[in-house]
Amino acid sequence: MVILSSLFGLFVAAFVAATIVPFQSEIIFAALQVAGRVPVVWLIVVASIGNTLGALVNYYIGFGITRFEGKRWFPATPAQMARAEAWFQRWGVWVLLVSWLPAGDVMTVMAGVMRTPVWLFIVLVGIAKTTRYIGLALITAGLIG
């Protein structure tokens, strides 16, 4: 039961951390790893899935946000949207491989705005998020860093 509740908590933390809500899952991940009650492979799998699905929320926000452009309350001016779209087009979908960085939320929203195929989004973001948690596990274990 402890394992399931720990994994559920990690999933929720990783999911929320990947959305536009300011939250970090790394401390929870590292604490669970140090506690040693849950196999590290399960921590990586659950955190990666949660974080990828959270990023998918951003993708769908971006996918639907363009219909609100021009509204008074819309957070970006047309010039800002054009710059963001040009930046994403310049770097392409490959920028999603670094979507684990602090600015990753913006990248995942822009992927939705730019209508990146959802399967490609999931693959690239999944690789990025999984690699990040593997790296975090290695750092926490003292194997790198």
Candidates 53, 37, 60; CA nearest to 115 is: 60
Is position 145 within any domain? no
Parent domain of 89: 2-140
Q: What is the pLDDT of residue 145?
A: 66
More confident residue, 117 or 79: 117
Is position 43 within any domain? yes
Is position 77 within any domain? yes
pLDDT digits (tens, 9 = 90+) for 118-145: 999 999 999 999 999 999 999 999 998 6
Is position 80 within any domain? yes
Return the structure tokens found at 13.
């933390």
Q: What average pLDDT does range 58-81 have in this prediction?
A: 78
User: For residue 73, is pLDDT > 70?
Assistant: no
Is position 81 within any domain? yes
Q: What is the pLDDT of residue 67?
A: 76
More confident residue, 114 or 42: 42
The structural domain count of the chain equals 1
User: For residue 9, is pLDDT > 70?
Assistant: yes
Is position 62 within any domain? yes
